[in-house]
Amino acid sequence: MGHVNLIPAERLARRSRTTRVRVWLVVCGGYAIVLVAGSFLLRVLHATEDRSVTAQLAAVTAQVEQENQTMLELRRDLAEARITLETTLAIHAQPDWSKLFLGLAGQMGQEIVLSRCQLGTVMGDNMAVTGGWGEAASTRPLADLLTECRRKLVLNGFAKRQESVSRFVLGLEGSGAFDLVRVINSSRQSFLNGEAVAFNIECYF
């Protein structure tokens, strides 16, 4: 005897549709779960990557700032070393002043007594070197500035007679050591137990 299905066809069709709906609900639910899990995982990975990039950027920024600070310190050290080197070279290139004063003593003879001797540096207008010249030294080599300046030797003293002062001035001019020798003033004053001629002489070279 053959198999006979007594369940109505409409009921069988409804059962089949219900089964298919359940299967699709399970499949769609699983797919939705996979999508949600994947989206969450991507967000976690993206947040981790952002934190990593932010940390790397912060590290690079800090390193750049440190390198800039190091560069500034090296520039300051280099500027100080340059000034020190130029100063050393300028001082090393200076003449032997002891020879100048030795020659000066030879011109004094027995009738001249010096009470004051001052050696200084003046600018082109014979004005003393001031802070303005010091500002220029920060932008120009010291040796160049020194070549533009002149030396001034100020001599104060006493002589027995006015003729002695004149001979002393002539001797300074004839020595060839100075470009200009001039008497600023001379007058007779009391000196020890008598009188002498006080003088003030400036020598430029």
- Digit-coded pLDDT (tens) for 174-194: 988 889 999 999 999 988 788
192 vs 6, residue with greater confidence: 192
* Domain end among 60, 93, 126: 93
pLDDT band of residue 155 (cuts 50, 70, 90) is: very high
Domain identity same for 86 and 117: no
* Domain end among 93, 127, 158: 93
Q: Which whole number is the average pLDDT over 156-174?
A: 93
Q: Mean pLDDT score of the chain, rounded to an integer? A: 78
CATH of residue 156? 3.30.70
Residue type, 92: H
Residue 158's DSSP bridge partners are 113, 198
Domain identity same for 42 and 71: yes
Domain identity same for 116 and 200: yes
Domain identity same for 9 and 78: yes
Domain identity same for 87 and 172: no
Domain identity same for 82 and 114: no
Domain identity same for 159 and 70: no
Domain identity same for 154 and 107: yes
Domain identity same for 136 and 60: no
Domain identity same for 181 and 103: yes
pLDDT higher than threshold 60 for residue 163: yes
Domain identity same for 85 and 169: no
Domain identity same for 27 and 52: yes
> Quick check: 168 and 200 in contact, CB under 8 A?
no
The boundaries of the domain holding residue 161 are: 97-204
Q: What is the pLDDT of residue 53?
A: 72
Residue type, 150: R
* Domain end among 93, 123, 151: 93
0.85 exceeded by pTM: no
**Percentage of residues in the chain having pLDDT higher than 90:** 22
- Digit-coded pLDDT (tens) for 96-138: 777 888 888 888 888 899 999 998 878 766 666 654 555 555 5
Q: What is the pLDDT of residue 78?
A: 82
Number of domains forming the structure of the chain: 2
- Digit-coded pLDDT (tens) for 64-93: 888 888 888 888 888 777 776 665 666 556
Torsion of CA 51, 52, 56, 62, to 10 degrees: 40
Q: What is the pLDDT of residue 168?
A: 94
Q: What is the pLDDT of residue 177?
A: 85
Tell whether the torsion through CA atoms of 165, 171, 174 and 177 is positive or negative: negative
- Euclidean distance between the first and final Cα of the chain, in Å? 146
